[in-house]
């Protein structure tokens, strides 16, 4: 699964790319060259609770000291880059920030519960960005379609999600107390995604912070847009072909889900005559339409369009021009714009 055609595998995923490169590089350097600095990145709960060394939360919950954990978490972050592509870097970073903070709290609570119920004293936990990685399994399970790829022995199905779950299981079994990090990560992911708790409204990255990182770090970690799309089946290896097919199937199923949602809305609210609301985008250069356009003085100023929503429509296969016009015509309503583009 950890394959790509050049750097295009991380296109539109600068945050995922930075999480792949920076922590992995630091982890390798600490393991091979700077072993005497590893003590500063140990996830020492005793020092945090008794000596109030809060900085250990940041260091110990960011950099892995075990190369096996580094490798597995990097593979999972690469596969979870689809969420940054779908929702944008700011929303993706807000999820990671919220999951990191919640899982830090749940780590401490679970350690106290384990000591109270089982009498187990836990002074340290495995280091690394593991809580948010396990939290990403929550949206992965709930929002990524399950597509069968193969069948083993006629009974066991291999899907597009099987290898990701195997990687998660490998990471779960790599340490004695890593189950605490996994459980706290899953619980934090459920809490952050909960529509009842509304945690995502509190633990989020402010827009001004997102703009600063967009100006400073995004140019460094951004990947070039692929100039020519490689056709499915043209990959250099079987793994690349499988990855391309899975991404294509994910896009197709996402579009079918959107179409199903459109049909349900039409059944509830009646059929909508889209041509009465918007001029056909495919014939916007038609002479009759040009003759009946309002004058420039009567035309209201164009609505400011969200680039995040434009990116989501382009991921569904629509051109940038059509996405811009549909969003302007629908006043930035993504569902209405998607429905209109699917019908035209």
Return all residues near 343 (Cβ < 8 A) that are at least 6 apart: 262, 274
Least confident of 42-56, 97-111, 172-186, 281-295: 281-295
Question: Is residue 223 a contact partner of residue 13, using CB atoms and an 8 Å limit?
Answer: yes
| First vs last C-alpha separation in the chain | 35
Q: How far apart are CA 128 and CA 71, in angstroms?
A: 11
| pLDDT score recorded for residue 131 | 92
Best CA proximity match to 77, nearest among 65, 319, 64, 291 = 64
Q: Which of 31-35, 95-99, 340-344 comes out lowest in average pLDDT?
A: 340-344
Q: Is the pLDDT of residue 202 over 90?
A: no
Average pLDDT, integer, range 17-40: 91
Reading phi first (left if > 0) and then psi (alpha if -120 to 50, else beta), residue 236 is in alpha
pLDDT of the residue at 274: 46
Mean pLDDT of 134-153: 84
Span 59-68, average pLDDT: 91
Q: Which of 2-16, 55-69, 160-174 has the lowest mean pLDDT?
A: 2-16
- Mention every residue, 6+ apart, whose C-beta is less than 8 A from residue 24: 70, 74
State the chain's mean pLDDT as an integer. Answer: 77
Assess whether pLDDT exceeds 80 at residue 127: yes
Task: Return the domain boundaries, the chain.
Answer: 14-146+156-223, 305-343
Q: Among 1.10.8.10, 2.60.40.1840, 3.40.630.30, 3.90.1260.10, name the CATH number for the domain at 305-343.
A: 1.10.8.10
Tokens matching residue 124:
């340290």
Residue 203's nearest CA partner among 186, 189, 184, 218 is: 189
Question: Rounded distance, CA 19 to CA 217, Å?
Answer: 12
Q: What is the pLDDT of residue 235?
A: 42
- pTM of this structure: 0.65
CATH of domain 14-146+156-223: 1.20.1540.10
Per-residue confidence band for 188, with pLDDT thresholds at 50, 70 and 90: very high
Q: What is the pLDDT of residue 290?
A: 47
The pLDDT value given to residue 133: 95
């Amino acid at each position: 699964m950890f394959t790509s055609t050049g750097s295009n595998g991380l296109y539109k995923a600068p945050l995922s790319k930075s999480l792949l490169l920076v922590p992995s590089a630091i982890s390798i350097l600490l393991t091979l060259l700077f072993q005497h600095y590893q003590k500063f990145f140990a996830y020492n709960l005793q020092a945090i609770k008794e000596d109030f060394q809060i900085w250990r939360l940041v260091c110990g919950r960011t950099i892995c000291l075990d190369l096996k954990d580094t490798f597995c978490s990097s593979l999972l972050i690469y596969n979870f880059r689809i969420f940054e592509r779908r929702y944008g870097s700011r929303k993706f970073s807000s999820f990671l920030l919220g999951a990191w903070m919640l899982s830090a709290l749940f780590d401490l609570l679970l350690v106290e519960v384990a000591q109270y119920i089982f009498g187990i004293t836990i002074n340290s936990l495995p280091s690394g960005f593991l809580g948010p990685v396990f939290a990403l399994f929550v949206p992965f399970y709930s929002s990524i379609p399950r597509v069968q790829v193969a069948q083993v022995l006629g009974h066991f199905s291999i899907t597009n999600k099987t290898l990701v779950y195997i990687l998660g299981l490998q990471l779960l079994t790599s340490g004695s107390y890593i189950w605490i990090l996994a459980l706290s990560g899953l619980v934090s992911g459920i809490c952050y995604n909960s529509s009842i708790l509304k945690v995502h409204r509190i633990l989020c990255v402010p827009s001004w912070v997102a703009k600063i990182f967009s100006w400073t770090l995004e140019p460094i970690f951004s990947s070039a847009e692929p100039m020519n799309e490689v056709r499915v089946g043209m990959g250099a290896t079987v793994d690349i072909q499988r990855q391309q097919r899975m991404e294509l199937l994910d896009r197709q199923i996402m579009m079918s889900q959107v179409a199903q949602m459109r049909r349900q809305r039409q059944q509830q609210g009646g059929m909508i005559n889209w041509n009465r609301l918007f001029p056909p985008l495919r014939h916007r250069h038609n002479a009759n339409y040009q003759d009946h356009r309002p004058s420039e003085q009567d035309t209201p100023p164009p609505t400011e369009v969200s680039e995040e929503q434009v990116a989501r429509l382009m991921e569904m296969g629509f051109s940038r021009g059509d996405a811009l016009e549909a969003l302007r015509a629908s006043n930035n309503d993504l569902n209405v714009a998607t429905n209109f583009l699917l019908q035209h």
